[in-house]
Amino acid sequence: MTLELVEAWFNKLPEAEKDLPLLMVERVAYTPRQTLDQVRRDTSLGKSLQSLIERGSFGTLATDELNLAKIRLKEQLSRSTGKVVELQGVAPRVLTPLDLISEIDRNTPTGQRWIKAEMEQMQALVRIR
C-alpha cells in the first residue's frame, strides 16, 4: 500500500473518527491522524501501522482489541447527548450514555453487545477503501 492509498483511506474516514484511537502496535493505540503522520515520515512504526491497514486489522492481540473497543466506546459515549432504548421485558429500558458506560464496565450482556458492535465498526473503518 502506498502513501497515496493511506491518504485516500484517511480522507474517506468520518471526521469524528480521525482523532479516535483505532490501531494498536505493541500495546499502544494510535489515531488515524497519527497513523498518517507516521506513514508520511516513513518510520518503522508507520510501516507497522500501514501493515495493519493492509490486513484490515486494528491490533495484534485479541485482548488489546477488546480494550481498544472499550476505550473508544467510553470516549465517544462521554460526548453523546442521546439515549438508547431496548424493547426488553415488560417495560422499555432507557439507557443514557453514562448507563451504557456502566454496562460496559460491568461487562453485562448489554455492555458486551456494544463492545461487539464497536469491534465490528472498527474493522469496517480499517477496511474502508
Residues contributing to the site for other proteins (CB under 8 A): 12-16, 73, 76-77, 80-94, 97, 109-110, 113-114, 116-118, 120-121, 124-125, 128
Report d(CA 46, CA 96) in Å as an integer: 38
**The residue type at 67:** N
Closest CB 81 distance from other proteins, rounded Å: 6
Closest CB 9 distance from other proteins, rounded Å: 11
Closest CB 43 distance from other proteins, rounded Å: 28
Q: Nearer Cβ to other proteins, position 76 or 102? A: 76
- Nearest C-alpha neighbor of 1 from the set 36, 29, 30: 36
Check: CB of residue 3 under 8 Å from CB of residue 12. Answer: no
Q: Nearer Cβ to other proteins, position 63 or 109? A: 109
Range 15-51 burial, b when 16+ CB lie within 10 A, else e: eebbebbbbbbeeebbebebbbbbbeeeeebbebbbe
Q: Nearer Cβ to other proteins, position 27 or 113? A: 113
Closest CB 39 distance from other proteins, rounded Å: 21
